Structure 1
Amino acid sequence: MNLALWIAAGLLAAVALTGGISKTFVPKEKLAAAHGGGWTEDAGTGFVKTLGVLELLAAVGLILPAVVDVAPVLAPVTAVCWLLLMVGAMITHGRRGESGFVMLNLIYFLLAAFVAWGRFGPESFIG
């Protein structure tokens, strides 16, 4: 179970890192032209960059606190925050009729729910 939780957290961290780098450092116009990036046309640059920074923080928060054993409770807390981010992503893509991205965000949601459940529950870093 512990290995499965680490794999799930690692996958989510990789997704968050990739998304965070692109939203933070790629110009909004270029993101809007990319497949699945059309939603950025309706969002302000500051909002897109803020989401990017949050995703970069999520990439760090899912892994680093547990690895260095400093405030390891932040790993499942970050997974819960990722759940909220994915709800917003599913709503955004759903409104745009992008069902494929809704399903992808649902997979990320389920992975984060697994990490949160496992790290708050049977394989907790707390205690």
Structure 2
Amino acid sequence: MIAESFERIYRQNCHNLGIFTSTDFGLIDRIRRDEDIPLEEFTRGEDVLTAELIRRGGPFRLTEARRAGWRARLTAAGQRPMTYAEKIVARASGRAEVTSGQSVFARTVWRYAHEYVSPTSISFLRRE
């Protein structure tokens, strides 16, 4: 999908469904010429986990890769006091530090599903 811009949640949903997104309209002519587009065109500028999510085609394939041993090489957050929320996320992710905007895997106690997406999520889980 190529557009001038994407709302954050819409773009995240596309990534979760394995839909490539870009704001580079130059890709249109390349696609029309049947040119191979490197996957990096769609992961450029993304954090490590989001880029891998895009490469894998969504959260199910990324989870399979993690179960098979793939681990993200996450950078250190840096030396500064953490907020209370960051401390909670750091503890849940098994990391000494995290910072706002950093992607991590964390164990959750509570999970929430918005009513609008619950049926779709449940159908994906059953299919997988």
Q: Give the TM-score category using the shorter length.
A: under 0.3
- Bigger share in helix: 1
Higher relative contact order (CA 8 A, sep 6+): 1
Which is higher, the Rg of structure 1 or of structure 2? 2
